[in-house]
Amino acid sequence: MTESQEATLDFIGAYQEEHGVPPSVRAIQRHFRYGSHTSVVRQLRSLAEAGQVEQLKNGSWGLKSRQVQLHLRLPVYGEIPAGLPAQREQEPLETIGVDPAAFGLRPGRPGDIWGLRVRGDSMVNAGVLDGDIVLLSRRPARAGDIIAALVDETTVTLKRLVKERGRWRLRAENPRYPDIIPQRLESQGVMVGLIRRKIA
């Protein structure tokens, strides 16, 4: 695939993600400042032959369903966010492209899935290392889940949620760290996947 084709494919994926529909040929032409409509169609036909796009019934060209999944962009927020990642005042540090099917996920509403960079070694025995990015989903937490927890409205930490003697606790996966028994506990997200950014 040429650089021009890759750029076109990326634009179609980003456009579909933002608008929910593929861009028109005219929108592609305008974005890349092509001199003619024919140049865009030629590019799209080459991508179709490579199995990357398909012409839809309305005449527009969109990514094939598998490619739409591969173009899902997830926001990655700070190491210890002070609020819900969906809050408008909190900007992501970066975005990462993932295939949600690799994590057993289906793309939902914006903000339903996001990433959080891990700092520290309290979850090493669960395979979560310093520098990893955990993928979190906004769904009800259950005992045994690893969650991003807001503790006593002051501190956010990544721990396993456990219930003992009728009381919720946050448990590290490293024996050097004691359980946290919060007075108030709010789950900001349940861990559903992990991306390793460095190799030990």
- Residues with catalytic function: 122, 159
Provide DSSP, the chain.
--HHHHHHHHHHHHHHHHHSSPPPHHHHHHHHT-S-HHHHHHHHHHHHHTTSEEE-TTS-EEE-HHHHHHTEEEEEE-SS-SS-TT-TTPPPSEEEEE-GGGGT----STTSEEEEE--SSTTGGGT--TT-EEEEE-S---TT-EEEEEETTTEEEEEEEEEETTEEEEE-SSTTS--B--SSEEEEEEEEEEE--S--
Residue pair 124/174 in contact by the 8 Å Cβ criterion: yes
The span from the CA of 41 to the CA of 48, in Å, is 10
Task: Identify the CA nearest to 116 among candidates 99, 140, 92.
Answer: 92
